[in-house]
A and B are shown apart, each in its own frame.
Chain A
Amino acid sequence: MAHLTRRSFVGAASLLASPALIRPAFAADTVKLGCLFSSSGTMANLEGRLNHVVRMAADEINGRGGVNGRQIEVLTSDPASDWPLYAQVGRQMLQQEKVAALFGCWTSVSRKSVLPVVEQNDGLLFYPLHFEGDENSKNVVYVNSPPASSVLPAVDYLMGQDGVGAKRFFMIGSDYVWPRTINKQLKGYWKSKGIPESAWREEYVPFGFSNFQTLVNQVRSFASQPGGQAIVVLTVVGSSIPDFLREFANQGITATDVPILGLDMVEADLEGLDTAKLAGHLNCWAYLQAAKSERNTKFLGDWASYVKARNVPFSADTVIDPMVSAYDSVQLWALAAAKAGSFAVPEVRKAFAGLSFEDPSGYTLTMTGENNYVSRGVFIGSVNEKRGFDVLWQSPNAPKPVPFSPYG
């Protein structure tokens, strides 16, 4: 045979057209949910956990009888931290597998890649990370907080009496949309408070950057100049976080000299660090593992047993905000689908208005019909010696989210 005939090509193509996604063996009458979280590449260590959380949530709902009489089937994939591949797999899940909803993305880049796909196919993407806001698509459910409820409370704390009365700010971020937008909004906020431009400084580093010696030296000399207490607003992501913290601690700067507000810092980033010298640095999320509530204790126990039972290759003792938000996403979707009595996206979307769910953080999550944002509580966490965060402050209730920032 010298040529590939048309028949064989079409045959191969049809094989391509119906690939077997990872799915457990189920009866025919199931409803499918798709996951867009990477298990390889730079985001693997963080996103990989979320696949398992979504499965755990689905198991829990199936144990209660499923949704609208059907069992949930979770399809996972591996976009390999390759942003166009998120769009590719998303398109496949929506068009081929006809999933009822997608749960995915961590970086804003990946979300923005998937956005055109869900909009063109009228799908629904539940996005579990806190982000820069300034977006309100009817096809995305923003399960976590925009800056008004995830960044500003912590900055206010630091600038206030209880904090350090911060007057000068050194912003260090990875060079992409989230840090740039956050910093833009922060600058607008500080301008509105009358803080002069000379009081802040902005530096950006590439993804995966790890050689922070020079930057830490610059932070030190910035802090020693007159004008008030300086803080570092850290919006680097991924492995840059532990590398920066390590260099900071090695050069002998402590949180009481120059505190760091690490906006993407989670418990998982402290693995492998000696946090005795880092005690006192802050982060801000909608959930902290140290949150005191019965539901949290139950969730932590459930996760630990799930890890042991299914041999999940992640720590059983570390639970981070995106994991809880992913869990909340599945529960919210199930509640909305049950309330609407259907899986069709327009019906489910109508059912968001007035939805409420009590999640492990101890707050009651609510959604109004005005937008696809979810009200979350606010926690400010402080690094402790045990590679975790203590709850330094938490909001009395779950404030209404503000999608579009008034500051810049």
Chain B
Amino acid sequence: MPVLRAVLVLVCLALVPAPAAAASLDRVGFVAGLCDDAAAQVRAAEGLIQSAGEVPADDLAFAAGLLGALAERRLACPADGALLLDRPGASEGRDALTGLARATPDARVPVLGLRQRAAVETARGVTALLTGPDPAARAAGLAAAERRIATVPAAVLDRARDAESDAGLKERITGLAQAAALSSPDPVRRRAAIAAVAAHPSGAAQARLAALKGDPAYAADHAFRAALDAGLATVSRAVAVGDGLAVVYNGLSFASILFMAAAGLAIIFGLMGVINLAQGEFIMLGAYATYGVQEAFRRLAPGLLDLYLVAAIPVAFCAVALVGIVVEALILRHLYRRPLMSLLATWAVSLFLVNLVRVTVGTQNLQFVMPAYVSGGVPLYADFVVTWNRLFAIGFAAATLVLTLLILRRTPLGLDIRAVTQNRDMAACLGLPTRRVDRLAFGLGSGIAGLAGVALCPIYSVNPGMGSGFIVDSFMVVVLGGVGSLLGTLVAALGIGGANVLIEPVSGAVAAKVIVLVGIILFLQRRPEGLFAVRRRR
């Protein structure tokens, strides 16, 4: 009898499936899938995602390694199995399953098409979420998985949430898990899901909720309908607010660029009546000076490379101010009584500068390293994304404004400039060295243009011809705002930037520009002195 019982127990034990073993990853099959055609790669990645809720951690780490190699083109596929390379194009690597070194004679390196790329990204996100060493890595994995949350099963999110130690991250996972339950059969969970989705409004969320209106529960279940309507209303409102914020932000960004390009011109034109057609080229020189600073940092202090933009500020200012002073001393000094000739002279200078840079440096766009504080963006509200490079430009413009006002109001040079702008002859009678003031003011105006060049490096492509796009716009801003008035320039820049951005979605970029320019021309016919005219006697 005891023998029979023991045999029965053994048989029963044998029949009970070992839970861990059955859900483990078929490593050989996984590797074969990744080295097969596109459909097989997708199946392998999606299969991993589906089973990630139960697969043991070491299998997940194995899969993560392979997927990462595939994404970075470090996975080579010879006739059998797969090889992990240390870097793309390496001549030998380690066998994916055994870890032994193998040579890679002409092994095919698969390239990810878009469909596989999406699946692989999500799979990598899921594995990072479940096996990442620190909260930051796991949060990055969550962000990647969130993009295609519909393909991630609830079991995965539950497992991640249960294993998560970091409180904030745990909350996010919980929220995502709730939101994923939009099509769950349980109506309570569904309503909770709607609320969760509405809590993070975006255009995509709006589309997801709107799609639910076709759901049969909408007509049948009263509570569901109420929840959905409320959720949709919240999301729509948030999206509209986000779009409005985006318009404001875009307008501010464009206005800040216009302002920086025009500020120096306002001072020069107001003071000397000189139309500086080389202003765009001074901006270009500022951008090239920034590039020079970057190269200097790269060579001398590569650890501090990210700070090159900040270090370039004084360098660009001084360099371009110097160029301006030279131009003034050599050329414009002789042309004060002949403003129309000085216009032609500055045009010749601009032609010279563009071609000088083209011949010495070359026509290609300069390569800039984008430090973290000017690349990417952060979604602030609904679909409104604050891009760092434009925020940098806005901040820079504000700083330029403050600095210029300080110079004009608080320094002796500023006082001289204002005096000579208002009444040149009287200022000369009082003993002010008007010629020196002109020279320094031209330098100041050029230096500000150089600063504009620094701020524009993260936004626009930098090449010798980049300045020509700014001329007409900056002149319009200066003349509209009122010659000699910096605040006028600011107001005009805000107005023009805002008008452009408001009209653009309606009738296109070109029409917006045309309408704004025609409006300015008509306004100037009526009131040629601009918005804020500096009272002066000449």
Interface residues of A (CB under 8 A from B): 39-42, 44-45, 48, 158, 161-164, 175, 203-206, 208-211, 213-215, 217-218, 220-221, 223-226, 239, 242-243, 246-247, 249-252, 254-257, 259, 268, 271-272, 274, 277, 279-280, 282, 313-315, 382, 384-385, 390-393
Contacts and interface: CB of A to CB of B under 8 A. Distances in A.
B114 A224 contact: no
Interface in B326-376: 355, 358, 362-368, 370, 375-376
Nearest to A38: B363
A271 B509 contact: no
Given A256-B148, A268-B364, A272-B366, 9 more contacts: A44-B358, A164-B115, A213-B246, A217-B243, A243-B460, A250-B389, A255-B117, A280-B114, A391-B111
- A contacts with B: majority SS: loop
Given A209-B509, A268-B364, A390 B73 contact: yes
Interface string B245-259: 010001001100000
Contacts of B463: 45, 239
Contact of A214 (B211, B375, B505): B505
Contact of A213 (B114, B355, B368, B390): B390
Contacts of A279: 117
A252 B379 contact: yes
A382 B111 contact: yes
Interface string B132-159: 0000000000000001100000000000
Given A45-B364, A226-B207, A271-B367, A218 B465 contact: no
20 contacts: A162-B115, A213-B250, A213-B253, A215-B509, A217-B243, A217-B250, A220-B203, A224-B204, A224-B206, A239-B461, A250-B376, A250-B385, A256-B114, A271-B365, A272-B366, A272-B367, A272-B461, A280-B117, A282-B114, A314-B364
A185 to B, nearest CB: 22
Contacts of B387: 213, 247, 250-251
B38 interface: yes
B115 A161 contact: yes
B211 A224 contact: no
A252 B380 CA distance: 12
A203 B365 CA distance: 25
B385 A251 contact: yes
Contacts of B385: 250-252
Contacts of B505: 214, 218
B509 to A, nearest CB: 5
Q: In the A-B complex, list the 7 residue pairs whose CB atoms are closest, starting with the nearest.
A: A224-B203, A272-B367, A44-B363, A256-B118, A250-B387, A45-B363, A390-B111
Contacts of A204: 508, 510
A33 B460 CA distance: 38
Nearest to A274: B370
Nearest to B460: A210
Contacts of B362: 313-314
A42 B504 CA distance: 25
B432 interface: no
Nearest to A277: B376
Nearest to B88: A386
Interface in B86-130: 111-115, 117-118, 121
A167 B389 CA distance: 33
B469 interface: yes
Given A243-B460, A259-B114, A315-B364, A175 B253 contact: no
A257 B147 contact: yes
A384 B383 contact: no
B206 A210 contact: no
Interface in B24-65: 38-39
B518 to A, nearest CB: 16
A322 B39 CA distance: 33
B355 A40 contact: yes
B365 A48 contact: no
A242 B461 CA distance: 7
A279 B243 CA distance: 27
Contacts of B381: none
A79 to B, nearest CB: 15
A214 B363 contact: no
B388 interface: yes
Given A45-B364, A224-B206, A315-B364, A250 B114 contact: no
Nearest to B365: A272
Interface in B476-511: 501, 504-505, 508-510
B202 interface: yes
Contacts of A225: 203, 207
Contacts of B113: 162-163, 382, 392-393
Contacts of A221: 203, 243, 383
Given A214-B250, A272-B368, A382 B112 contact: yes
B210 interface: yes
A315 B363 CA distance: 11
B364 A41 contact: no
Contacts of B368: 272
